[in-house]
Structure 1
Amino acid sequence: MADREHVQELSLFLLDYATSLLGAGVHTSRAVRNISRIAEAYGYRADISLSQKNIMMSISSQEDATVRRTTVRKLKPLHFNFVHIQDLSALTWRAWDDRVPLGVLVEEYHRMMAKARYPMWLVMLCASAANASFCRLFGGDWTAMGVVFVATFAGFFIRQMLAKRHLNHLAIFVIAAFVASMIASMATCHHWGGTPEVALASSVLFLVPGVQLINAVMDLLDGHILNGVQRGIQAGMLIICIALGLTLTMLIVGIQWMS
């Protein structure tokens, strides 16, 4: 009975762990490897099936195959967080190397997840500065960089506010791209600086789903074809939404690209 209670506790913890790890932005192979390492540390085998929406996990004892538990959970969309990825990966080695009791591992997990996130205003400022730097890399002048900074700040703010209201994520990308590019288009309309077209093109780069694209490629290379294709299609849809928002701005303002 104790074993059956233990496998249930471990299964529930691994589901929470997997949801947090995948939501933080890891590729499939890393998630499977980390989950399996924890399960093996406590004498169990983990068989995992992952998709973009759900995780199915079967935990069985290495000593007694009748002690097992199969569970399915819907994955929640979370924010990418590389600090969480680092902490959660380190947690697996706490289980493997130190063989800490499961209760201790669960407490450490909850303590990690309860860490305060960076203030939203700081994230917005850093994202705006990074996008302005992209503008500079693509040949934009200081005026264009300033315009991109303001446009990114506004677009990022709109994106966060709409996400809190649980609007469809595709619509969020269209609206955020439209707002950012509309602000940046003022540089073209009023001839601010010498590179207004660079400001317009750079204003939506903060929305490009780089993590999804990288994970899609890594999943394909690791043999997780279905997940790789799913992530690639999702990233492609987001890129199309960004293009739609930018195109809408150009149609309204009357900008002819490269004219």
Structure 2
Amino acid sequence: MDHPSHSAYDIAQVCLLAGKIMLENGGETYRVEDTMTRVAAAFGIRNSQSYVTPTGILFSIDGPQQTTRMIRISERSTDLHKVTLVNAISRKISLGELSVSEAHRLLNEIEGASAMYPLWFKIMAAAIASGCFLIMFGGTWHDFIPVFLAGGIGFAFQLYFHRLVPIKFIAEFLGSVLIGAIAYLFLKAGFGHDLDKMIVGSVMPLVPGLLITNAVRDLMAGHLVSGLSKGAEACLTAFAIGAGIAFVLSFISGVGIG
């Protein structure tokens, strides 16, 4: 399908916006590149190249209207609903149901939309997940409420501190420190029985499960740079969580508490 009324620049803007939304909300690198290429082809651009990393997107169109655009990715979160919406728009573009301007408008609406779930819902989900992980790892129902509270409070604190200081490692480290401290206080107050399982269950909402999955899938798809960088980020997150818990346990042991 050819769209002579639209310049290559406009088409590149649509492709970049689609890729940006997907990458910022948990989309895999190879899926982002494939979506951008398909959108460009649907708009009549047969010779396009895209290069995606976790921190940036480079998109180029060859031919008479040659153009190269780059966009920086500074924030990444998980909102697979937005990824699904972009995929739906991509399919409509491929079927010829959307023009360049209509696609750009819809993508702008998706980008500007608030998160599908409010903050309180995410915190509640993290708290419930913490309690469920406790049971899954062989814990007892007596520890469910302490883990529910520790996981929810720790997750909420991690989100809040990350907004104040946008350094993910520090936020995750402090969140795990708080989780370890709360779990220990519940244990000493007589509301907990197994500190190890309480801590493991409480920190599970902080574990970078999607990041690890995307890293493996990118590596398997041949995107070595993205796969290795996402794997390194996942390892750093795991180290932050482990270091936070180790700090609490070392402090308890060092001062002779317990």
Q: TM-score, normalised by structure 1?
A: 0.90
Distance 1:147 1:193 in 2: 7
Aligned counterparts, 1:133-172, within 5 A: 133-172=132-171
Aligned to 1:13: 14
Maintained 8 Å contact 1:41/1:99: no
Give 1:132 shift. Answer: 1.1
Maintained 8 Å contact 1:155/1:180: yes
Which residue of 71, 88, 91 corresponds with 1:90? 88
Distance 1:150 1:115 in 2: 30
Distance 1:233 1:79 in 2: 16
Give 1:188 shift. Answer: 3.2
Distance of aligned partners of 1:98 and 1:66 in 2 relative to their CA distance in 1, 3 Å threshold:
closer
Distance of aligned partners of 1:49 and 1:102 in 2 relative to their CA distance in 1, 3 Å threshold:
same
Please give the per-residue CA displacement for 1:192-246, whole angstroms capped at 9, x wherever unaligned. 3443331122221111111110011001111111211111111101101100000
Aligned to 2:44: 43
Distance 2:150 2:193 in 1: 18
Matched residue type, 2:66: R
Matched residue type, 1:241: A
Aligned counterparts, 1:39-78, within 5 A: 39-44=40-45, 45-60=47-62, 65-78=63-76
Distance 2:222 2:76 in 1: 25
Residue 183 of structure 2 corresponds to residue 181 of structure 1: no
Matched residue type, 2:60: S
Give 1:5 shift. Answer: 5.8
Aligned to 1:199: 198
Maintained 8 Å contact 2:180/2:199: yes
Give 1:3 shift. Answer: 5.4
Distance of aligned partners of 1:52 and 1:4 in 2 relative to their CA distance in 1, 3 Å threshold:
farther
Instruction: State the identity as a percent.
Output: 20
CA RMSD of aligned residues (A): 2.0
Give 1:191 shift. Answer: 4.3
Q: What's the secondary structure of 1:203's corresponding residue?
A: helix
